[in-house]
Structure 1
Amino acid sequence: MKISIGNDHAGTEYKNAVVKHLESKGIEVINHGTNSVDSVDYPDFVHPVANDVENGNVDLGIIICGSGNGASMTANKHQGIRCALCWTGEIAKLAREHNNANILSIPARFVSQPQAVDMVDVFLNTAFEGGRHQKRVDKIPV
């Protein structure tokens, strides 16, 4: 599995924890940064993740910012991206099962690092159910 990850300054510590966790499982990670806590603009780090997913260079994406909202809004401007802002493992599971989400947006200021790592595991290990959900996903413009 290959994952693309990006974050702003509010998500740096969380991103580092997630990357370490993923690499310990043998998952390849493309890190688009930032690697600093100095203030940056989240779109600069979200667009490369969305591009990776959109172009099929990775299996899934993970983005992290303070609220998760700005990052999610940015990613969802890309064709074929279904980015889900999640704050629990259950929401991450449903985002994959029912919405075929391909990018997970994590709100670093509203979840703990263990919660974030759990959401990542759930997101990566949950498959899209298809079936009745496929017709709904098909109604999302690309």
Structure 2
Amino acid sequence: MAADHNGLALKQHLITWLGERGHEAEDRGAHGPDTVDYPPLCADVCSRVLAGAAGFGIVVGGSGSGEQMACNKIRGIRAALCDSVFLARIARGHNDANVLVLGAKVIDELVAEQILAGWLETAFKGGRHQHRLDQIAALERGESLS
């Protein structure tokens, strides 16, 4: 789990929230209020997910938009910017998203908790959705879908 300076407070809150529910969250930074660039934080979290050191990643920014873009530049990452439980459940169930991105200036702590709970409770459905993930992977490899 990582956050830039805008997402620091929400990241710390969610680390505590996860711990209270028996989950372990590794804090990958930032650790203070100084302005930081989010792409290196995103790359770090995503590399941990791809290496199998983490089951999934969480990245928190101000809006989360840039973080989602940065994460999705990394082959094998399916980062979803979620501002509702509905989006979190779709991202996990249909898209097998492996990185959750949250915007600390968009949602409050309670909504973030609800989104994360929905994320944790939702498994990938497979089936017709797997075919679509295969197509996304083909796009990552630069292959045509036609």
Normalised TM-score (structure 1): 0.94
State the alpha-carbon separation in 2 of the partners of residues 120 and 38 from structure 1.
26
Cα RMSD, aligned residues only: 0.9
In the TM superposition, structure 1's runs of 4+ consecutive aligned residues that sit over 3 Å from their partners are: none
Q: How does 1:40-51 map to 2 (within 5 A)?
A: 40-51=36-47
Pairwise CA distance, 1:44? 2.2
Aligned length: 138
Residue type of the partner of 2:115? Answer: M
For residues 97-129 of structure 1, give each alpha carbon's deviation from its aligned partner in whole angstroms, at most 9, with x where no partner exists.
110000000011111111111111111121001
Secondary structure of residue in 2 paired with 1:118:
helix
Matched, 1:30 2:26: yes
Q: In the alignment, what sits opposite 1:102?
A: 98
**Aligned residues: percent identity?**
38
Displacement of 1:137: 0.9
Partner letter of residue 40 of structure 1? Answer: V
Distance 1:110 1:36 in 2: 21
Relative to total residues, which structure has the larger strand share, 1 or 2? 1
TM-score normalized with structure 2 length: 0.91
Counterpart Cα distance in 1 of 2:23 and 2:106: 26
For 2:16 and 2:117, locate their aligned partners in 1 and report how far apart those are by CA, in whole Å: 13
Residue of structure 2 in register with 1:18 after alignment: 14
Question: Contact 1:54 / 1:79 at 8 angstroms: preserved in 2?
Answer: no
SS of corresponding position for 2:76: coil
Larger C-alpha radius of gyration, 1 or 2? 2
1:126 aligns with 2:143: no
Q: Compare 22-31 and 82-91 and name the one that shifted more.
A: 22-31
**Which amino acid letter does the alignment assign opposite residue 61 of structure 1?**
G
Question: Counterpart of 2:25 in 1: which secondary structure?
Answer: strand
Residues 4-46 of structure 1: CA distance to partner in whole angstroms, max 9, x if unpaired? x011000000001100001111211111111222211011211
Aligned partner (choices 80, 87, 95) of residue 83 of structure 2 = 87
Alignment partners' CA distance in 1, 2:119 and 2:75:
21
- Residues 55-70 of structure 1 aligned to structure 2 (within 5 Å): 55-70=51-66
Q: Which residue of 2 aligns with 1:76?
A: 72
**Partner residue of 2:5?**
9
Q: Which runs of 5+ in 1 are unaligned?
A: none
